[in-house]
Amino acid sequence: MSEQQALSQPLQTEEPLLNDQEMQFWLDKAVAWGQADSPDTQKDTCLHMSRLRDFLHQLLTQVNSMSSTTETMKRLPFLGQLLGRLCWNPYVTVCDTSRGLLLGCLWGLYSERPSNAVEKKANQWIRELPFTAKDRNNGKNKKTFSPQLGPSGRTGQMYGFRPEMVCLRVSPRRDHTVLHYHGMSFEEMTDKQSMRKVLCQLSTEEDETAAQALMKCTGVPAKEYHLKVLRKKVALLQENVGQSCTLFNSQRCSCDRIVDISEACIPIVTCPEASSLISLLLQRPVACVTEALSEDFLNALTSAYSRQGLALEEQALVSLWYHSFSSLEEAVLSLLQSVITTGLTPQKLEQQVAQSLLPKACAQHCSIFLVVNDIFRSILKQAEGNESVKTLVQTFTKCFLRELALLKPQTSISVKAFFPQSPSSLLVPLLTMPSEMPQGAWRNHLNWLSSSLQRLTEEEEEEEEGDGRSTRGHHNVFEAWFLLVQCAHWVQVAVQLLVTSGTEDGDPFLWLLIFYHYPTKRWHHRASQLARAKEAWNHIRTLFSGAAHPLPSDRLQSLGTLVSPQPEQQSFAPSLTVSLLVNVAVFCQLPPSGSAEVLQAVVDQSGLLDEAACVLSSLELRLNEGCCLSRDTVHLRIKELQKMITQMHSE
Amino acid sequence: MEAVLKNLASTVEMLAVAAQSDAVNHWDKQTLSRAFHWARYCEHIFSRFHNNAAIRRIMEKQLQLTNQTLRDTIPGYTEVSFSDLPRCQHLLLVRLLNNPELPSSLMKILFDTTRPVKTMHGDYEDVTGLCSHIVQCKSVYKVLSPLADMSALGADAEVQGEMLMERLEALLNQGSETCRAEQFLGSVLQGCEGALQQFCLVIAAALLTSKNCTAQTAAHDFLLDWLQKKHSLLQYMCSLLSPTLLKDLAKEHQKLRDASCNVLKKWASEMEYSLSDGEWVLTSTGPGVSFKKLTELFLALFDASPSLRGDVEKELNALKISDGDFDVTGLSVWGDLLSALNM
């Protein structure tokens, strides 16, 4: 033993060399796994799989860095034994990654042109290994091997006079076998043919005599047979899963078996043959108190899904989210990541949100919607000015409501259940879409909304003055604001109404807009923002009134300074200004070309081209969807503006 | 037809090369794909012509010739028969993997672990990862097989039973060539030497397949007749079956019900009372059961067919009377049997 230890002394290399302890650890593991087949062993194997993968990766790197097989065998004397045992462990071979790493190590040991006796024997070792491991898997102590294996004439040579082979063979005194092997030098048992033999056995040997006879007599090839048997087994297990919970006695119920099945599926979550079984497991109705799906199973699914190694059908995915909070969280965050990029048109955004299946899942399970909204809340609290997040929340809610309406006939859950924290008086008014009420009613509706929200903020401010530490008012205002973000279609209507109101009082609308963009600006801050908003609004109105021609440069300039970021003062919400701008451009009385000219000038000055394009797209989308009276002039103006923007983009 | 025969001969020659020649050293990915393509071709011509007796004979003749030539030139050559053709790709794979000259480049292709899309490499279907798939399939099954499921026979026995029935139905469908069907069953039995237990499970599974068509009924009938002719096999099967399984089988097949009833009665007649055990035991060699199991099996048969109960009761009674009609345990197996069966 010590000789081998001396041989495997670490050299001076930059990479951390695998130490003896690690190798011994894994060797012991491989031996233990091969000897027993109890549920505990299976569980242990599954728990160690990812660590084993990392270890195999390190091994592979090291094997590939060696210049010859001889060197490899000197440095890693137990490598052969380890690989051989692992080859026959179905938990290792079932996963594409670990199988690939294992084979990679084997290729590394294979010498195409063996330069010495050691290397000549190297592959034979690989070849010999399955003879012993094979028995172990069968549980029978086969003393002879099927003579079909191996080229004719060499069978006797296989286990006739190779003592190291004999000592590896499974005997009643298993541990003695292992110890005995350790005493042998590795070099004796290798040959070029060994690896080929292992691989031949792995893929073509049949454990069962009857299976082989039937295959031969019926002309069914092995590949087809094994696939059939696997599918049959999966179908039988699916029958098991499909059964509803039955009590055996007062303590145990049949859900125990389902837990076993779900745990057994952990190593095979990414295998397509198992996907129907896994789908069924996920969608099994939760009938009794016992947790039918193991935590490890759900975690395995989540990590496979995030690595994109999992193909789940829609309902199975929804069920996964329902069962596993972490998988839901991952899905939401990945949606966020994919949409918080510039250049996504509103249509594209809506498409992507719908495709993520999250709105559908939310409609089916109230709990999912609540979790998703909590995630949105926490993100908004950290970045309330982030327009793309706000737009996402609005689009998401829109898609969700659509899915909910599709489901509505079947469910009888009140809408309140989905929005438990929102102020109930505002819920229905805000959730109602503008298209669901006559256009003439919009003004009153918005006036009412604006004053309700104002009242809420005033309550909060009073509370703050009084107690200073009470947060209920603050909470109410936040929830009201969050609901407004979810239902931001009313904010868009407010802009439109403000722009088209003419001489009527637009203050409530302006207040609403300020509140939407600056929810936390309270007291005099809000008042000052309101004043600035009015100023910008005046500038814009004048620019588009058509009265001034050519465009007054001072107006342009002041608008420009108001919008662009200044070091001393915070820039006034560009998003608010842009939406005002675009809406005015669309609904003003100027001819389309004139309107486009003005907008171009402003955008030139302030550099908000992308934002303008975005607002224009969503305005067009809303007008098209909402079956508003299609005023031809409005649409002409939109077309003209779009043309202008495209032109500016290409410059 | 001539072209077909030529291709057949070339493919068989190719198999021989794959098995033993060092020419494989020079095979590349394209050659490999092409080889499998021709193997697939042979599978195809088998499925097209195996029902056509005339063409079949021509092909067998060709194979004979080719085998002869190869046998003369290559030492240790393994013949390819007509019935091997439907598994030609598998044969090719086995021969390649057993060829000591197989280069690692080909092994790497066959065991590639990336999931290949079914691409055409040039004109031929890609065989990259072929062995990898097989290994994975087997591994998934090994992972799932310890789990208890709804089957009394096991997934493998069920599939094997289906395979048996499919082939049997096809053979019987071809007209009155019952000798081929007999041959088929015989060769399966022979192939299962040393695994007789599994064979019995396969027969049970085959008899329990339920497609509800005339072809299957005919095949079942044929199988039952064949089974009845093999007394020792039938006896062995009865000794292996669980009462539940026997009940299911007896429910479907009256012939089997009657045949196994006879086996049970025969066992009973051969039993002797052992004073040391306080039980009736079978002293004859060969497969048998305990007295307890015997009663369980009888009860299973009655469960399957209530009318049988009455008939058997009459018979046993008559036998009991002929034994002296005593009600003391240990004197007449028939009497004890009657009381154990609650009759």
What tens digit of pLDDT does each residue of A369-391 get? 999 999 999 998 887 667 888 88
Where residue B159 falls among pLDDT bands split at 50, 70, 90? very high
DSSP code of B124? Answer: E
pLDDT tens, A417-440?
Answer: 899 988 888 898 898 888 888 888
pLDDT at A450 over 80: yes
Whether A255 and A292 have beta carbons less than 8 Å apart is answered as yes
Three-state secondary structure call for residue A335: helix
Distance CA(A521)–CA(A527), nearest Å, equals: 9
Q: Please indicate whether residue A163 or residue B27 has the higher confidence score (pLDDT).
A: B27
pLDDT tens, B168-180?
Answer: 998 888 766 688 8
Nearest CA in chain A to B141: A230
pLDDT at A130 over 50: no
Three-state secondary structure call for residue A253: strand
Question: What number is the average pLDDT over the span B207-224?
Answer: 88
Min distance A75 CA to chain B CA atoms (Å): 23
User: How many Cβ pairs closer than 8 A exist between chain A and B?
Assistant: 201
Contact criterion met (CB < 8 Å) for A203 and B134: yes
Rounded-to-10 torsion of CA A40, A45, A50, A53: 170
- Mean pLDDT is lowest, of A121-135, A429-443, A623-637, B21-35, for A121-135
Where residue A329 falls among pLDDT bands split at 50, 70, 90? very high
Three-state secondary structure call for residue A332: helix
What pLDDT score was predicted for residue A3?
A: 47
Contact criterion met (CB < 8 Å) for B143 and A196: no
Distance CA(B15)–CA(A649), nearest Å, equals: 65
Nearest-CB residue to B159 (from A37, A42, A228): A228
Where residue A38 falls among pLDDT bands split at 50, 70, 90? confident
Distance CA(A306)–CA(B218), nearest Å, equals: 54
Specify the residue for token string 């095949």.
B219
On chain B, the residues whose CB falls within 8 A of the CB of A120 are: none
From residue A315, how far is each of A242, A278, A284, A379 by CA, in Å? 16, 12, 11, 28
- AA letter at A616: L
Where residue B213 falls among pLDDT bands split at 50, 70, 90? confident
pLDDT at A615 over 50: yes
Nearest CA in chain B to A261: B147
Segment of A358-362, A516-520, A570-574 carrying the highest mean pLDDT = A358-362
Question: What number is the average pLDDT over the span B296-301?
Answer: 93
Question: What number is the average pLDDT over the span A312-341?
Answer: 89
Three-state secondary structure call for residue A90: helix
Structure tokens at A326: 């972490």
- AA letter at A551: L
What pLDDT score was predicted for residue A394?
A: 93
Task: Classify residue A567 as exposed, middle or buried by CB count within 10 Å of its CB (0-12, 13-18, 19+).
Answer: exposed
Q: Please indicate whether residue A561 or residue A397 has the higher confidence score (pLDDT).
A: A397
Is the Cα dihedral B297, B300, B302, B304 positive or negative? negative
What pLDDT score was predicted for residue A286?
A: 75
- Mean pLDDT is lowest, of A376-390, A545-559, B45-59, B148-162, for A545-559
What pLDDT score was predicted for residue B297?
A: 94
Where residue B225 falls among pLDDT bands split at 50, 70, 90? very high
Question: What number is the average pLDDT over the span B221-249?
Answer: 92
pLDDT at A216 over 50: yes
Min distance B219 CA to chain A CA atoms (Å): 15
Contact criterion met (CB < 8 Å) for B104 and A110: yes
Specify the residue for token string 């019926």.
A218
Whether B18 and B97 have beta carbons less than 8 Å apart is answered as no
- Mean pLDDT is lowest, of A282-291, A328-337, B41-50, B333-342, for A282-291
pLDDT at A165 over 50: no
Structure tokens at A442: 């919009």
Q: Which residues contact A290 (CB under 8 A, 6 or more apart)?
A: A253, A255, A256, A259
pLDDT at A320 over 70: yes
Where residue A39 falls among pLDDT bands split at 50, 70, 90? confident
Segment of A109-113, A444-448, A634-638, B112-116 carrying the highest mean pLDDT = A444-448
Paired residues of A191 in beta bridges: A121
pLDDT at A346 over 90: no
Where residue A342 falls among pLDDT bands split at 50, 70, 90? low
Whether B160 and B202 have beta carbons less than 8 Å apart is answered as yes
What pLDDT score was predicted for residue B249?
A: 94
Question: What number is the average pLDDT over the span A5-17?
Answer: 48
pLDDT tens, B60-91?
Answer: 999 999 999 999 888 888 899 998 999 999 99
pLDDT tens, B93-139?
Answer: 999 988 888 888 888 889 888 765 556 556 677 888 889 989 999 99
Q: Please indicate whether residue A397 or residue A536 has the higher confidence score (pLDDT).
A: A397
Contact criterion met (CB < 8 Å) for A99 and B136: yes
What pLDDT score was predicted for residue A21?
A: 84
pLDDT tens, A63-120?
Answer: 888 777 777 777 777 887 888 888 888 999 998 889 999 988 888 776 655 556 666 5
Contact criterion met (CB < 8 Å) for B97 and A204: yes
Nearest-CB residue to B163 (from A195, A208, A220): A220
What pLDDT score was predicted for residue B115?
A: 66
Contact criterion met (CB < 8 Å) for A240 and B159: no
pLDDT at A26 over 70: yes
Q: How many CA atoms lie within 13 A of B314 on its CB side?
A: 4
ipTM, 2 dp? 0.92
Min distance B265 CA to chain A CA atoms (Å): 30
Whether B66 and B12 have beta carbons less than 8 Å apart is answered as yes
pLDDT at B242 over 80: yes
Min distance A595 CA to chain B CA atoms (Å): 55
Where residue A136 falls among pLDDT bands split at 50, 70, 90? very low
pLDDT at A215 over 70: yes
Nearest CA in chain B to A207: B138
pLDDT at A170 over 90: no
pLDDT tens, A242-254?
Answer: 877 766 666 667 7
Alpha-helix residue ranges (DSSP H) falling in A169-254 = 174-183, 192-204, 209-218, 222-242
Nearest to A642 by CA among A608, A605, A596, A601: A596
Three-state secondary structure call for residue A243: coil
pLDDT at A552 over 70: no
What pLDDT score was predicted for residue B327?
A: 82
Min distance B294 CA to chain A CA atoms (Å): 28
Please count the residues of chain A. 651
Min distance B331 CA to chain A CA atoms (Å): 42
What pLDDT score was predicted for residue A189?
A: 27
pLDDT tens, B271-293?
Answer: 888 888 888 888 877 778 899 99
Q: Are strands B279-282 and B124-125 parallel, antiparallel or unpaired?
A: unpaired
pLDDT at B202 over 90: yes
Rounded-to-10 torsion of CA A504, A507, A508, A513: 120
Q: What share of chain A has pLDDT > 90, as a percent?
A: 18
- AA letter at A111: S
Count of Cβ atoms closer than 10 Å to residue A549 Cβ:
10
Mean pLDDT, chain B, rounded, equals: 88
pLDDT at A178 over 50: no
pTM here is: 0.78
pLDDT at A353 over 90: yes
On chain A, the residues whose CB falls within 8 A of the CB of B140 are: 90, 94, 230, 268, 271, 273-274
Nearest CA in chain A to B135: A203
From residue A540, how far is each of A269, A546, A601, B186 by CA, in Å? 59, 11, 12, 97
Distance CA(A209)–CA(B195), nearest Å, equals: 6
Distance CA(A92)–CA(A267), nearest Å, equals: 8
Nearest-CB residue to B159 (from A39, A212, A232): A232
Nearest-CB residue to A210 (from B90, B136, B160): B160
Count of Cβ atoms closer than 10 Å to residue A520 Cβ:
13
DSSP code of A247? Answer: B
Distance CA(B181)–CA(A237), nearest Å, equals: 34
Distance CA(A554)–CA(A544), nearest Å, equals: 14
Among A93, A208, A238, the strongest candidate for a mutation testing the B interface, having the largest count of B CBs within 10 A, is A93
On chain A, the residues whose CB falls within 8 A of the CB of B107 are: 107, 195-196, 199
Residue A247 sits at φ, ψ, to 5 deg, of -85, 125
